[in-house]
Structure 1
Amino acid sequence: MIVHEIRDWDDAYENGANIPNGSEYPQRWVAPAAAFRDSARAQLGVAYGDGARHRYDLFLPEGTPKGLFVFVHGGYWAALDKSYWSHLAAGAVARGWACAIPSYELCPDVTIAEITAQIGAAIDHAAGEVGGPIVLSGHSAGGHLVTAMMCHDSPLGAQTRDRLAHVVSISGLHDLRPMLKTSRNASLRLDMDSAEAGSPALKRPLEGVRLTAWVGGGERQEFLRQTALIANVWRGLGAPTLEVAEPDRHHFNVIDGLADATSPLMRAALDPVEAP
C-alpha cells in the first residue's frame, strides 16, 4: 500500500523552481509576443470596462473570422498581463479565427471572484465584435478562469453562452481549496467559503459545451491531479470531455502549441468545432 501525502504545499504548486531554466520565464515570452504584435492584423488595447487593466488585444485573420478564440493567461491570479502572450494567437489566426487575449486586475487588489467576472465581461465584449462559435483557452490560473465560464453560474451573457462551443483548460486549477494551504493565499485572500464557491470542479457544467483538460506530462503532480479531477467530475455530470497529458511538456512550454496551427493542442481545440 502506498500512502500519498503532501507535506509542502508551496512546493507542490511551485513551477519555476522545479523546471530546468525555469527562471527564464516569463521573460522568454516577451520578444516573440512583441514580434507577433508588430506583424499581426490587430486591434490593441480594446476596452471592455473602466479599469486600466480592462483591456484585450484582438488579433484578426484575413477575411471574415470563422469564430472567436480566446486565451486567458495565468500567473496565479496575481501577476502578468496580456502583453506576454500575443504570439500564442498565431495558431488560431492561421486557422482563420480571431483571437482575443485579455488582461484583468490582479490579487490582492481584487478577489478571484471579481477577476472571474472581469473575464466574463471581456469575453462578452469580444463576442460582440466577432461572430461565430466561441472557443476559450486558458493556462494555469487562466485555465480556472475559462472553466468558470462553462459552469452553471457562468458570468457570460446568455447570447455568449449560446455560442460557447469548447473550453480548453491548459494546466488549470479547478479546485481552489488547496490554495488555502499555500503562502500564495496571502495575496489570494481565499477562505474555505470563497474557495469552494470559486471552484469549477465543485460545480455543474453548462450543457452542450465540450471540455478539453490538457496538461504537460512532466508537470507537478498537483497539476496532473487537478486536470484529471475536472475531467473526471464533469464527465460524470454528462459533459463531453477529453483529457490529455502531452508527453515531454512542462508547465511553461505546454502552451507552445497554441502558436502552431497544426499542433496537437490546436487540432484538439479547433478540429471538432470546425468539423461539418
Structure 2
Amino acid sequence: MPRRVPAVDRAFDILELFLRTPQPESLSVPEIARALELPRSTVHELVGTLVARRYLRALEDHPYRFALDVKVFELGNAYAATLDLAREGQEVARRIAAACDETVHIAVLDGTEVFYIAKVDSTNAVRLVSAIGRRLPAHCTAVGKMLLSGLSDAELTERYRGVDRLPALTANSITSLDVLRRELAAIRQRGVAYDNCESNADARCVAAPVYDHRGHLVAAMSISFPTIRDTPERFCMLSKLVRLGAGELSRRLGYRGTIPDPEATLDPPPWHLERAGPERR
C-alpha cells in the first residue's frame, strides 16, 4: 500500500469536517482544531493553503470563519459527469451490443492505463471475457489508443517519461513509443482505433471517440470480437456500429460538434490486406 502523507490526510480531514457540518454553517480555525484534535498552528497553515487553492473561502463579513469554496463544487460536478458517462454509456452500449452480439466496452484514460466504466457482453459461446473496473495498458487496446490520440506529443512524452520499452500483453502489442506515435497519427486521420490481437491473442477490436459538451475527448467505445468471427464484411459493419454508438453517446453528453458519418467507408484494416514489408514493431 502506498505511504500516506500526514499533511494531505489532515487537509482532507478538514474538508470532510465541512461536509459533516450542517450548511450554511461556517467554521473557524479554533473550531476545526478542537474537532480534529490538531494544533491551531497546523490548522491555520492547512486552511491557508485550502483557501489559496479555492477549496475554502473566508466569509466576507466574518473573515476568520471559513466555508467550502468553488473547487469543491467543481470536483463534485466532475464526479457527477463521470456517473452520467457510465450510466448513459451503459444504455448506449446495450443497444450496440444487441445489434451485433459482440462485447461492447466504454473506457476512460487514467495515466497510461484505460479504466473500463461500462460494458455489455456478447451472448455467443465464444466471446471476450472482461469486467467493469478492469485496467489495461492503454497502448495495447483500441480504446486506449483512441484516447491517447487525443493527447499532444508533449503530453504523450510526459506520460511515458522514463519508459524505454512499452509492456506487451501479446506478441502483437506495440512496444516502441515511436511506433505508438505513428499509430496515433494514423488514428487521428481515420477516426477509429484498432486492436489487432494486441491485448488478447484471439480477439480484435475497433474503437471510436466519445466527446463531452466542452468538445473534450473523455472516453472511447469499442466492439471486441474473436478472430474466428472476423471477416471484411463483418468488420465493416462493426466499425459503423461503434462510430454510431460513440456519436450517440457524445450527443447525450452534450457534444454539439461535427460527428463523422458512421456510414462512411473506411479503408480495410491492416490484417485484411496482404502483409508486406518489415514488421511494425
TM normalised by structure 2 equals: 0.25
Larger Rg: 2
Which fold has the larger relative contact order, with Cα–Cα distance below 8 Å and residues 6 or more apart in sequence? 1
